[in-house]
Amino acid sequence: MFWGEYMSEQYQEPLKGTTTVGLVFEDGVVLATEKRATMGYMIASKKAKKVYQIADRIGMTIAGGVGDAQQIARVMTVECSLYNIRRGRAMSVAAASTLLSNILNNNRYYPYYVQLLVGGFDESGPSLFSVDAMGGATREEEIVATGSGSPMAYGVLEDRFTKGMKRKDAISLAVRAVRSAMKRDAGSGEGVHVVIITKDEYFEVPEEQLPKTNAAATA
């Protein structure tokens, strides 16, 4: 095996084994993930945290290496706090995504093995960005999914998403997408973690309050 092929395999491997979903609804953003962490074929954790609050109205989902992801979350939390203190205002979602992109790009030769979603609410309204390990940042207008379960999640999101969805329907759709991935992807499972971010709140939805079935969401 050539070194380039080996590096390509090493780059791809840490991005496997999870499902994260983001979508923009009428009043904000929904971020949803499952809770399984794997080490090869072993389930290392059934309560893995994959959504982090990095600012008052900004959240970040993680896919990839746990240590790298946690380090990035700590750095972003500190940077967002410092920005608020120095500027006297909260960092926008776009600015947070750009900062995250710069951090990852500056470390591209010794990369963080992560794939991230950044979503939140600011003066421009709700917005959602995907950021890869090399620092590429893309604004997602409606829906996005990452991780090994993303093909299954996208199948649900593409079929059911409509612009201007109500909060309840957006939650149902995000949960449906993650659960669909959990049924077919061995790296995804154990439960669903959902965060709602609006102008007024960053809210982690208790799992017992999530929809119990995969009933179709309507707008």
From the candidates 18, 19, 33, 61, give the one annotated as an active-site residue: 18
Neighbour count for residue 55 (Cβ, 10 Å)? 24
Q: DSSP letters along 117-181, please?
A: EEEEEETTEEEEEEE-TT--EEEESSEEEESTTHHHHHHHHHHH--TT--HHHHHHHHHHHHHHH
- Strand, coil or helix: what is 205? strand
Q: Which residue has the tokens 């421009």?
A: 124
Q: Can you name the residues that pair with 52 across neighbouring β-strands?
A: 60
- Can 19 be counted among the known catalytic residues? no
Enter the tokens of residue 50. 């994959």
**How would DSSP label each residue in 52-86?**
EEEETTEEEEEEE-HHHHHHHHHHHHHHHHHHHHH
* Total Cβ atoms within 10 A of residue 198: 17
d(CA 82, CA 115): 24
Q: Are 73 and 62 in contact (CB under 8 A)?
A: yes
Q: Which residues are catalytic?
A: 18
